[in-house]
């Protein structure tokens, strides 16, 4: 380093004395210009500028020449490149407008039924597309994304449009509960209950006996192993309904409608 400094100083003195004027490449402050190579140039000497990635030569084949102590040539020697490649594509949407100029962005738009859930940060920087592409989200709702969906038909062919309520379709053994979830921008507004409820069983026939169910159950316990139990049965008549899982005594004659 010492030697370099010393020899540099020596060269400066030498050029100043011998040739009157010289140019130092270090004094060329232009963005994108490669700084490698000889530092000092005599009057009349020059070089072809080359540029770093993201820039290109402003005047291809042009030269920068040292003329009596000052640099002459086409300035700035390097210019930022634009984006020539196609902008990044997105799902369920497309590019609406873009120029590809350095620093510019891209305008995207979503397909029908979709909305921009995240804005684009894509920008052309030094010839490359950088940033995050936007995200197009479906405004429609699927029955499978309901959180209360017991007995709801999972058929996803019929999507619910934003602003509309679910056209309730229940699987076998279930009937609409009257609660209709509302779809807004791809998100369901539910009311804490499933849109379908289990079908109850109706006692369709009472046989020549009595159909009963446990009305009351009492358990007496006077030690760990000794206890007595008493159950009271009540009569069930035709036409009454019971929820699924309920058990009737004696005949268990039940028919589901």
Residue 16 touches ligand NAG, criterion: CB under 6 A: no
CB-CB contact of 137 with 117 (8 Å) = yes
Establish if 142 lies at the interface with ligand NAG (CB under 6 A): no
What are the residues facing 234 on neighbouring strands?
A: 213
CB of 200 vs ligand NAG, minimal distance in Å: 4
List the one residue from 207, 225, 226, 255 that touches ligand NAG (CB under 6 A). 207
Interface of this chain with ligand NAG, residues 60 to 89, rule: CB under 6 A: 68, 79, 81-82
Cβ 227 to ligand NAG, closest distance in Å?
A: 31
Q: In this complex, which beta carbon is closest to ligand NAG, that of residue 37 or of residue 60? A: 60
Distances (CA, A) of 95 to 87, 89, 109, 124: 8, 7, 6, 14
Cα–Cα distance, 58 to 101 (Å, whole number): 16
Kindly determine how many residues on this chain lie close enough to bind ligand NAG according to the rule CB under 6 A.
20
E-assigned strands of 156-199? 174-176, 182-184, 187-189, 196-198
Nearer to ligand NAG, 37 or 207 (CB): 207
Q: What are phi and psi of 90, to 5 degrees?
A: -125, 160
Asked if 130 and 123 count as a contact pair (C-beta separation under 8 A), the reply is yes
Closer of 8 and 178 to ligand NAG (Cβ): 178
* Residue 150 binds ligand NAG (CB under 6 A): no
Q: Tell me which residue of 109, 153, 156 sits closest to 135, measured CA to CA.
A: 109
Least Cβ distance, residue 6 to ligand NAG (angstroms)? 27
């Amino acid at each position: 380093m010492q030697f370099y400094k010393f020899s540099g100083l020596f060269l400066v003195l030498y050029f100043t004395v011998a040739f009157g004027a010289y140019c130092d490449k270090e004094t060329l402050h232009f963005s994108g210009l490669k700084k490698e190579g000889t530092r000092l140039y005599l009057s009349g000497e020059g070089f072809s500028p080359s540029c770093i990635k993201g820039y290109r030569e402003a005047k291809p084949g042009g030269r920068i020449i040292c003329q009596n102590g000052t640099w002459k040539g086409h300035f700035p020697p390097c210019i930022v490149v634009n984006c020539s490649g196609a902008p990044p594509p997105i799902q369920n949407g497309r590019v609406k407008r873009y120029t590809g100029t350095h620093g510019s962005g891209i305008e995207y738009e979503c397909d029908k039924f979709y909305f921009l859930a995240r804005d684009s940060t894509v920008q052309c920087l030094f010839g490359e597309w950088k940033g995050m592409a936007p995200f197009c989200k479906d405004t429609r709702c699927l029955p499978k994304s309901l959180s209360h969906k017991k007995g709801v038909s999972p058929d996803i062919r019929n999507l619910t449009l934003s602003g509309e309520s679910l056209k309730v379709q229940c699987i076998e053994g279930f009937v609409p509960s009257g609660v209709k979830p509302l779809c807004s921008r791809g998100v369901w507004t539910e009311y804490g209950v499933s849109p379908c409820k289990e079908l109850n069983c109706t006692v369709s026939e009472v046989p020549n006996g009595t159909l009963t169910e446990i009305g009351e159950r009492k358990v007496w316990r006077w030690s760990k192993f000794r206890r007595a139990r008493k159950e009271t049965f009540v009569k069930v008549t035709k036409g009454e309904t019971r929820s699924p899982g309920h058990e009737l005594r004696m005949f268990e004659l039940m028919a589901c409608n």
